Amino acid sequence: MRRLVWVVAGCLAGCRGGSSSEPPVHLNLNMDHQHYFEAQEENPFFEDRRAMRPQVPGTVAREQLHEDEHLYRGRMGGVFSDQIPVPVDKTLLQRGQARFEIFCAPCHDRAGTGQGLVAKRGVKQGMIAPPDFHGSRVRAMPVGQIFDAISNGARAMPSYSKQIGLRDRWAIVAYLRVLQASHNTPIGQVPADIAEQKGWTGVVASTPAPKAAPAPAPVPSPGPAKP
């Protein structure tokens, strides 16, 4: 028995640190080797011989019941909505900025002017130039239409619904509105402390401040009451 123990110990010691071109020994195969069907492959088990099975009529897959038209399609009553259906706060805007700079900036650039590196190179080869987000046409778009463009694509831009999650798409829309406001807001609407911190105090406002309403005319006091 002792000799057997030494033999086993010697075998194990000999395997330690060694290398081999042979595949490892699988004492329990589990599911390492199994038969499976690839996309569009034939499966003789079914009558129509299709391995890719269609959805059962009248059923909905988990997490695919998209009843909220506003949230999932950016519409209300079939019309593009101008309201964001998720709470907009600093966290959402920061998330939107991060997603924007990853997925949108290569074509639209970080400022949203449509001068990204991909766009500059693609336009020379016949690519349709992306729009300037600060132009009047895009600024007038409802947020639901912008969400729809991200989800389903527009012109030369493909759909990003697979790369960007639902709420991240709305985060991008919210950040885009902030980005547009930063380029089109009169300096008079910027808080004075922030304008001074940024050195914007000498900038002339793009739109004149509204004039103060004239003071109302004094009302004459009534005379003494007649008997």
Q: Find the range with the poorest average confidence among 30-39, 95-104, 120-129, 179-188.
A: 30-39
75-78: long-range contacts, CB 8 A cutoff, minimum separation 24: 75/144, 75/148, 76/144
Q: For the residues 142-156, what does the mean pLDDT come to? A: 94
Give the pLDDT score at 210. 40
Q: What is the mean pLDDT of the chain?
A: 82
What is the DSSP secondary structure assignment for residue 80, as one 8-state letter? Answer: E
pLDDT band at residue 216 using 50, 70 and 90 as cut-offs = very low
Q: What is the pLDDT of residue 54?
A: 87
> How high is the pLDDT of residue 204?
42
Q: Model confidence over 53-62: pLDDT tens digits?
A: 888 888 888 8
Nearest CA to 72 out of 11, 146, 154, 148 is that of: 148
Question: At residue 4, does pLDDT exceed 80?
Answer: no
Domain limits of the chain?
Answer: 69-184
Which stretch of 33-47, 83-97, 191-205 has the lowest confidence by average pLDDT?
191-205
Tens-digit pLDDT profile for residues 60-78:
888 788 889 999 999 999 9
Question: Would the pTM of this model clear 0.85, i.e. be above it?
Answer: no
Confidence of residue 14 (pLDDT cuts 50, 70, 90): low
Measured CA distances, 58 to 67, 131, 134 (Å): 15, 41, 45
Q: What integer pLDDT is reported at residue 21 of this predicted model?
A: 80
Q: 81 with 68: CB under 8 angstroms?
A: no
Give residue for tokens 């729809």: 148
Specify whether the CB–CB gap between 152 and 161 falls below 8 A. yes
- CA-wise closest residue to 41 among 31, 28, 50, 54: 50
Give the CATH number of domain 69-184; options: 1.10.760.10, 1.10.1740.10, 3.40.720.10, 1.10.3810.10: 1.10.760.10
What pLDDT does 58 receive?
87
pLDDT score at 156: 84
The answer on pLDDT for 133 being more than 70 is yes
Q: Is the pLDDT of residue 207 over 50?
A: no
Note the pLDDT of residue 2: 73
pLDDT at 227 over 70: no
Q: What is the pLDDT of residue 185?
A: 80
pLDDT-based confidence at 144, cuts 50/70/90? very high
